Each structure stands twice: as C-alpha cells, then as structure tokens.
Amino acid sequence: MDDRDWVFAPPATPSLEVQGGGRFPLRRVFCVGRNYAAHTREMGGNPDREPPFFFTKPADAVVPGPEIPYPTQCAKLHHEVELVVGLGSGGTEIPTNSALDHVFGYAVGVDLTRRDMQDEAKALRRPWDLSKGFDASAPTGMIVPVASIGHPKSGAITLAVDGAIRQSGDLADMIWTVPEIIAYLSRLVALAPGDLIFTGTPDGVGPLARGAHVECRVENVGKLDFTIR
C-alpha cells in the first residue's frame, strides 16, 4: 500500500533492544496465569497441574523503562516478575519436543497489575482486561538471543523493591515449562515471529508505591531496573 493511502501515519512498530545489536519487533503479548505453585496458593487457587490459561497485553504496553508511570484509576498497583520468551518463528499445533526451535531469545519482564481493579472485576464476574493491559503495564528488558545463553530451565528469578527482596523463586519451579507453554498456546492461536510470552511469576507479589525503585533479575538471562514515576 502506498503511504499516501493511509488516512493518518501508521504508528511505529513496538520493539525491544536485542543484546548484541538489532531490534526485536513485537507482534502480540501472551501471559500465562498462575504458573508457580506457591503463587497460585497465595492467589487462592489450586496448585495442582491444571491446564494453563492465558491473558494478553497490547504490544505497545511493553516498555524498557527506566521510568514507568503509575497507572490512572488505580489504588493498588502490584508487581509480578517473569521470564519472557520471544518467538522467532511460529505455527499451529507445535509439538512440545520441537517448541524450543521457535524461540529467538529470552528477557526479564514484569507484569504490572491494577490489583484493585482486577479484584473488583473478579467479584462482579466481569472481564479484567484493563487491570492487566494498561499503558506501560509490561516493563521488559532487552532480548538475549538463544545463541548466547541457550534455553534456561532453572535459575533464580528475583524482584526487589527499594533494595528489599520481594519475590524469589527458581525457573525450575514452573508448573508448565516453556516448551509446554508454547505447544499448548499454539493449539489456541497461530503463533508468529515477534510474539512474546510472559511465563508466570513466583510468589511474593505485592504493592508498588509512587517513587519505588524496582530491580529484577533472572539468572543467566539478564536484569531490568525501573522506577515508578
């Protein structure tokens, strides 16, 4: 299509920096809910290995920091640190044993949540999209290619607020592994290059106040630091 055919200029493509150079263009953002048993218990759920469930965020909600705005219409903003998977190829009905072949790289991300809005929506049996998919709700560090680090199956995942550790877990504690998540999700939607998957958070989720400094680490993957503006 000729640029003159647009009624206004198309928005820029959301993207993330790639370690070693280049940009990773973002297509869609999928998030796995309750993928660590301890977090499932703290949220009042069943920690048994039930089928995974997913929610989404807009691609332009993915931002690198270093400052993240406190969301409007929110009195209880919560943090959830996660390992993020960036897909370099996709498909449907992807077998578990070949799912990792579709991964371009990994990153550290935080699923920010308007917990008060989510709790109210749950109580009223209403959708809670905007408790998860608001502006700048997915701070994410740079993508580290698989060629550099391989596929992390274990390692510490932590989040600290103003120097105090709030969340501390291990990737090995995931209920559903990365290849299982990719395979299951590919039966629900056609995955494609540029899709991101947030893989769930360990226990210890909690509130963030304005001015809070957040430090996130995933062993052998990287770090993400930002301040709530």
pLDDT at 50: 81
Residues 142, 125: Cα–Cα separation, whole Å: 36
Pair 183, 97: CB distance under 8 Å: no
Dihedral sign, CA of 148, 146, 58, 181?
negative
Residue type present at position 219: E
- The answer as to CATH 3.90.850.10 being correct for domain 21-228 is yes
The percent of residues above 90 in pLDDT, for the chain, comes to 90
* For residues 33-42, average pLDDT: 76
pLDDT at 42: 65
Residues 14, 76: Cα–Cα separation, whole Å: 27
What pTM was computed for the model? 0.94
* For residues 135-142, average pLDDT: 98
Neighbours of 214 (CB within 10 A): 22
pLDDT at 46: 64
Residue showing tokens 């550290």: 108
Q: Which are the contacts of 124, defined by CB distance < 8 A and separation ≥ 6?
A: none
Residues 41, 46: Cα–Cα separation, whole Å: 7
Number of helices (H), then strands (E), belonging to the chain: the values are: 5, 18
* For residues 33-46, average pLDDT: 72
**Which residue, 43, 60, 6, is CA-closest to 202?**
43
Provide the pLDDT confidence category of residue 20 given band limits of 50, 70 and 90: very high
- Residue boundaries of the structural domains of the chain: 21-228
* For residues 165-192, average pLDDT: 97
Pair 106, 86: CB distance under 8 Å: yes
Pair 212, 162: CB distance under 8 Å: yes
pLDDT at 197: 98
